[in-house]
Amino acid sequence: MSETKGTLSSHLWDSSDLYRNSIMQLQEAAETMQLDPNIAERLKVPKRALIVSVPIRLDDGSIKCFEGYRVQHNMTLGPGKGGIRFHPEVNLSEVAGLAMLMTFKCSLVGLPLGGAKGGIRVDPNKLSRQEAQALTRRYTSEINMIIGPDKDIPAPDVGTDSQHMAWMMDTYSQEKGFAIPGVVTGKPIEIGGSLGRAESTGRGVVYTIQHAAHHLQSVGKPYPKMDHSTTVSVHGFGKVGAVAALEIYQLGTKVVAISDVSGGIYNKNGLNIPEVNLYLSKHRTLIGFPEAESISNEELFGIPVDILIPAAIDGVITSQNVGHVQATIIAEGANGPITNEALKELEGRNIFIIPDVLCNAGGVIVSYFEWVQGIQNFFWSEKEVNSKLAEVMANAFQKVMHVQARYQCGMKTAAFISGVDRLNRAMLLRGLFP
């Protein structure tokens, strides 16, 4: 605690740009909507944060300790919900910022869930399968007192996948003495996962792009026609970006540039995304893909396109490179890919931004569906999952557009207001304990 009338010390959280940007966006939303200042104060800091040491025995016999985190930002609406990230740059501040975004995301799309996030500071590419399993299981054991199907439900994020969730579910179940599949989402289908979950985030990104194109058309502004005349770039050809690229390619658009950690590729006539996926599965890199020229991640942002999808990590479009960005729509597939300074410039240029808490909400929506299906022990078809996802995303998009029109603000601010408004009402009704 700081010495200023008991206010929680901010230095614990504000070391990352993501957290600082999230706070500034919250403040802007609060000022625009004239939010109760007491509610705004409570939303600025997480409810709970846990830092754990995660020691494992490496394959060479040595023991190494990794640092792990789980942050629960706000659980007014229900249990915590949020992914587990394995990344060498993960820290407490970043995880806190991501947990905050999850709070507003769950509220915006109408889920009975709160915001949480977790992570381990590690490069997953340097771990063997056995080391990854040991790390996941020990981390689960260290945080098991604050997670559970009625407390906080983790899911995959950057550097983790359904296999990690299977290990988490098994570890938690072994310690409790019986199978508890609802402790995590994003699990394999065989142990209670949901059809459509793996593709849900990328699919939701494309749903919001279609809504944005329709909106721009309806108000007489330049809009992508979502056919072969429409050009698309995807920064971050991973779990979200690869799905979004394939989905939007199948609509008939031209995906002209994609990139991942190894670099990028470009073809002005469009890339064949199924062939790219096949090449990537064989070579584990995009570099060298035939009928495409190599480009850097930074060069991708300067390619003129109708739709730009930043789907990798936060803070990639900054005041230094924003001047090179040429797009009609930017769909934030990643969390916080645009810094606040860059966002203001893009909005000033009338580029339509689909904010992260709306754009990439498909993952948490279908995670919620998985949680519900697990509780009921009644599982839906993929067609049902996708239909329900499309309906929730459409309603959320229209909610944000209504708020944007009411307050005449930017899309990011409108999305935050949409999420904060529901939280505000719930928090005022519940009051402050004691």
DSSP per-residue codes, 330-361: EE--SSS-B-HHHHHHHHHTTPEEE-HHHHTT
Residues 28 and 261: their CA atoms lie apart, in Å, by 33
Residues annotated as catalytic are 117
Same fold: 10-20+44-181 with 198-354:
yes
Tokens 């689960």 -> residue: 140
Q: Is CATH 3.40.50.150 the right assignment for the domain spanning 198-354?
A: no
Residues 94 and 19: their CA atoms lie apart, in Å, by 6
pLDDT score for 261: 87
The Cβ of residue 287 has, within 10 Å, a number of other Cβ atoms equal to: 13
**Token couple for 292:** 């495409």
pLDDT score for 2: 38
DSSP H helices, 254-296, are 273-283
Task: With a cut of 50, list the residues of the chain below it in pLDDT.
Answer: 1-8
pLDDT score for 43: 96
Of the candidates 235, 246, 355, the residue with the CA atom closest to the CA atom of residue 301 = 235
pLDDT score for 4: 39
CATH of domain 10-20+44-181: 3.40.50.10860
**Token couple for 57:** 């025995």
Q: What residue ranges do the domains of the chain occupy?
A: 10-20+44-181, 198-354
